[in-house]
């Protein structure tokens, strides 16, 4: 039997205090690195429990138009992987009580070097990474490199994943499992009331905490996940708030998700 990872232990402890946790997502360098720091500060102050830091990439295949646009804007403004590591390290030191995770794509990892990416991630103080375009059959080098650095490789389930495949994926995952709420990309509205059977299948496949994302937009969506998931993941909607109301509106938006 696997021993609990440090990230899993953190989630379990936080769940004793809260009926559901919040994991938020930002694209580093959007609309600027200075703004990214302000947004993370506001998220932590508003009580989020985990944060995904996305390294901008030109072809973010799992992301819908909102996050795609943020990736493109960050790259156009000169965002680099090196700068993302610098800012991530600053944020990890400033907010050591909140686990920070990378979210990006394998091209970024491969270009930096898989072992170097893992070592640099540990040195920066992050806790793991979500790399959605790496299937478990092809991820051995990434997973082993991360685990050797004490990092958590977060893997994904989807509604189309068979129970047998879920168990295979779970054998490589650590920390938590990210359950994609529906087919398609991030950002569109999701019927979270219809996820019970799917998430029951997920629970049978793993003892790890379950995070649910793709379409969490408001407090009603978060409330619908109470008792069927451990973590609600909010991504595109935060970027919409930044675009429409500015960085200063992020804190009140995040606080309102627990209303």
- The pLDDT score that the predictor gives to residue 186 is 45
Residue 53: Cβ within 10 Å count: 25
Given 19, 41, 63, 245, the catalytic residue: 63
**pLDDT at residue 196 in the model:** 87
- 80 has pLDDT over 70: yes
Mean pLDDT confidence for 136-154: 97
pLDDT(116) > 60: yes
Q: Where does the pLDDT of residue 64 fall: very low under 50, low under 70, confident under 90, or very high at 90 and above? A: confident
Q: Tell me how crowded residue 190 is: count the other CB atoms within 10 A of its CB.
A: 20
What the block records as the tokens of 76 is 């156009």
CB 26 within 8 A of CB 39: yes
For residue 198, the tally of other CB atoms under 10 A from its CB is: 20
Give Cβ neighbours of residue 136 (< 8 Å, ≥ 6 apart): 143, 155, 168, 169, 171, 172
- Dist CA 2 CA 174 (whole Å): 10
- Which phi and psi (to 5°) does residue 14 adopt? -65, -35
pLDDT at 59: 81
Residues 6+ apart with CB under 8 A from 95: 40, 41, 44, 51
Q: Which of the pair, 43 or 188, is modelled with greater confidence?
A: 43
List CB contacts of 93: < 8 A, sequence separation 6 or more: 125
pLDDT at res. 215: 80
Active site residue 41: no
**Whole-number pLDDT of residue 171:** 96
Q: Give the per-residue pLDDT at 60.
A: 73
Q: Which of 49, 52, 120, 152 is catalytic?
A: 52
Share of the chain above pLDDT 90, in %: 84
- Compute the average pLDDT of residues 17-24: 97
pLDDT for 181 equals: 86
pLDDT of the residue at 185? 44
Residue 15 reports pLDDT greater than 80: yes
Beta bridge pairs of residue 27:
54
CB 144 within 8 A of CB 116: no
Residue 83 has pLDDT above 80, yes or no: yes
Question: At a CB cut-off of 8 Å and minimum separation 6, what does 61 contact?
Answer: 105, 132, 133, 185
Q: Which is the CATH superfamily of the domain at 6-256?
A: Aldolase class I (3.20.20.70)
C-alpha–C-alpha distance, residues 202 and 75, integer Å: 35
Which tens digits make up the pLDDT trace of 176-223? Answer: 999 998 644 444 455 666 788 999 999 999 999 999 998 888 999 999
Computed over every residue of the chain, the mean pLDDT equals 92
Lowest mean pLDDT among 3-7, 36-40, 52-56: 3-7
Domain ranges of the chain: 6-256
Which has more pLDDT, 186 or 99? 99
Minimal CA–CA distance to 72: which of 88, 61, 62, 60? 60
Would you state the pLDDT for residue 189? 54
Number of H helices, E strands in the chain: 12, 8
52 assigned to active site: yes
What predicted TM-score, i.e. pTM, was given to this entire model?
A: 0.93
Give the CA radius of gyration of the chain. 17
92 pLDDT band (50/70/90 cuts)?
very high
């Amino acid at each position: 039997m696997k021993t609990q990872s440090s990230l899993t232990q953190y989630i379990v402890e936080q769940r004793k205090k809260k009926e559901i946790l919040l994991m938020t997502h930002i694209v580093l360098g959007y609309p600027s690195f200075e703004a990214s720091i302000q947004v993370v500060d506001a998220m932590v102050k508003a009580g989020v429990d985990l944060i995904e830091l996305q390294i901008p990439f030109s072809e973010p295949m799992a992301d819908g138009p909102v996050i795609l646009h943020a990736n493109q804007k960050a790259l156009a403004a000169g965002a680099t992987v090196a700068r993302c590591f610098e800012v991530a390290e600053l944020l990890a030191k400033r907010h050591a009580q909140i686990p920070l995770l990378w979210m990006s794509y394998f091209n970024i990892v491969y270009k930096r070097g898989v072992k170097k990416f893992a070592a640099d991630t540990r040195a920066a103080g992050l806790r793991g990474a979500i790399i959605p375009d790496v299937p478990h059959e092809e991820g051995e080098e990434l997973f082993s490199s991360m685990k050797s650095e004490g990092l958590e490789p977060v893997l994904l389930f989807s509604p189309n994943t068979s129970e047998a495949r879920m168990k295979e994926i779970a054998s490589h995952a650590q920390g938590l499992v990210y359950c994609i709420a529906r087919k398609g990309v991030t950002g569109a509205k999701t019927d979270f009331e219809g996820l019970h059977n799917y998430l029951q299948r997920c629970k049978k496949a793993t003892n790890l905490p379950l995070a649910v994302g793709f379409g969490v937009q408001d407090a009603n969506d978060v409330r619908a996940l109470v008792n069927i998931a451990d973590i609600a993941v909010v991504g595109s909607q935060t970027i919409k708030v930044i675009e429409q109301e500015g960085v200063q509106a992020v804190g009140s938006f995040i606080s309102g998700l627990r209303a």
